[in-house]
Amino acid sequence: MKKTSTRLADGRELIYYDLRDDTVRGSVDRRPLEPTLTTSEIRRDALLGDVVAVASHRQGRTYHPPADECPLCPSQGGRPTEIPDSSYDVVVFENRFPSLAGDSGRCEVVCFTSAHDASFADLTEEQARLVLEAWTDRTSELSHLPSVEQVFCFENRGAEIGVTLGHPHGQIYAYPFTTPRTALMLRSLAAHREATGGENLFDAVLERELADKRVVLEGEHWAAFVPYAAHWPYEVHLYPKRRVPDLLALEEAARAEFPAVYLELLRRFDRIFDHGESPTPYIAAWHQAPFGRLEGFDGVTRDDFALHLELFTIRRTSGKLKFLAGSESGMSVFINDVPPERAAERLREVAS
Catalytic residues: 169
Say how many C-beta atoms besides its own lie within 10 A of residue 224's C-beta. 25
Separation CA 273–CA 271 (nearest Å): 6
Q: Across the strands, what pairs with 151?
A: 174
> What φ, ψ does residue 284 adopt, rounded to 5°?
-120, 120
Chain mean position to CA 62: 21
Distance CA 13, CA 64 (A): 24
Alpha-carbon Rg of the chain, whole angstroms? 20
Q: Is 297 helix (H, G, I), strand (E, B) or coil?
A: coil
What share of residues in the chain are helix, strand, coil (percent, to 5)?
A: 30, 25, 45
DSSP string for residues in 326-344: IIIIIH-----SS-HHHHH
Residues 6+ apart with CB under 8 A from 240: 221, 222, 250, 254, 307, 308
Q: Write phi, then psi, for 304 (nearest 5 degrees).
A: -80, -20
DSSP run (H or E) holding 204:
helix 201-210
